[in-house]
Amino acid sequence: MTEVTNMISTPRLPRLLRRSLRHIALLGYVALLAATGCHHNPKLPGVNPNAPDTSLPAPTASITADPLAIDLGQSVVLNWRTTNATAVSIDGIGPVAINGTQTVSPANSTNFHLVAKGDGGTTEANIRVTVKVPTTDNTGNTTFDNGLGAGSEAEFHANVQNLFFDYDSAELRPDAGASVSAAARYLNTHSGVRILIAGYCDDRGSAEYNITLGENRADSAKTALVSAGVSPSRIRTVSYGKERQFCTEENESCWQQNRRDQFSIDK
């Protein structure tokens, strides 16, 4: 390259030849830069097409079960909520809606494992339901281990039955009288049993309104039992409003199942 440059600067060469040599030198210099530059280009890292997009929010997920403990053959209402999820599944059930409820009757104690997947990653949630399997005592009677020494839970549910309500009402219906009397007789002869009354509503109306309506329904049943001689200190109430549906179809038969007071042993 230096020799070519010296030749270009020699005054004895014709002007046209000097221009040609100058052009050749420039092209050679550019080619040299291109050749040496290729060896210094950084290698771009590979991209994993399966990696979650960290710029997007990760999914959130929660799952509840009501009740958490049942006798064999009874049902549980699962209720789950997610955000930022595009696919949700529950072990033993399969793919489910992004948000929803479902009634299940597990044959044994079960851990319901929920997996929520989205563009921002994967999130998991769990809820365990205990299923109490009956055993037979020395007299041949079937009992459940409820830790109360107050008879079987099957006996409890046979005598203390759920109450149902009319639409937008917290008043006990005339057909509830016999159920309240039977429940009071059982509770008054099993003084070690404490109960929980849960008030439920169908899915019509606002969440706030139905929470209040559920409270009033649970209080109506408590007032009736107290009037029949059951100590109020043995009764606890709670309202789930419309958040835990037993049935999700949009018809009167389904709505009626959701308008209820449900009784359980308070442990």
pLDDT at 154: 78
- The pLDDT tens digits for 130-160 are 887 665 555 555 454 444 444 567 788 888 9
* CATH superfamily membership of 51-133: Immunoglobulins (2.60.40.10)
Q: The tokens of 19 are what?
A: 């221009």
Q: Would you write out the chain's pLDDT as a tens digit for each of its 267 residues?
A: 555 455 545 555 556 555 665 666 666 665 665 555 545 555 555 556 666 666 889 999 999 998 888 877 788 899 999 999 999 999 989 999 999 999 898 888 888 999 999 999 999 999 988 887 665 555 555 454 444 444 567 788 888 999 999 999 999 999 899 999 999 999 998 888 899 999 999 989 999 999 999 999 999 999 999 999 999 999 999 999 998 888 888 888 888 888 999 999 886
Residues of the chain with CATH 3.30.1330.60: 135-267
Residues pairing with 95 in the sheet: 89
Burial class (CB in 10 A: 0-12, 13-18, 19+), 223: middle
HSE value, Cβ hemisphere, 13 Å, CA-based, for 190: 20
Residues of the chain with CATH 2.60.40.10: 51-133
- CATH architecture type of domain 135-267: 2-Layer Sandwich (3.30)
Q: The tokens of 49 are what?
A: 């097409």
Q: The tokens of 35 are what?
A: 């050749």
pLDDT at 87: 96
Burial class (CB in 10 A: 0-12, 13-18, 19+), 73: exposed
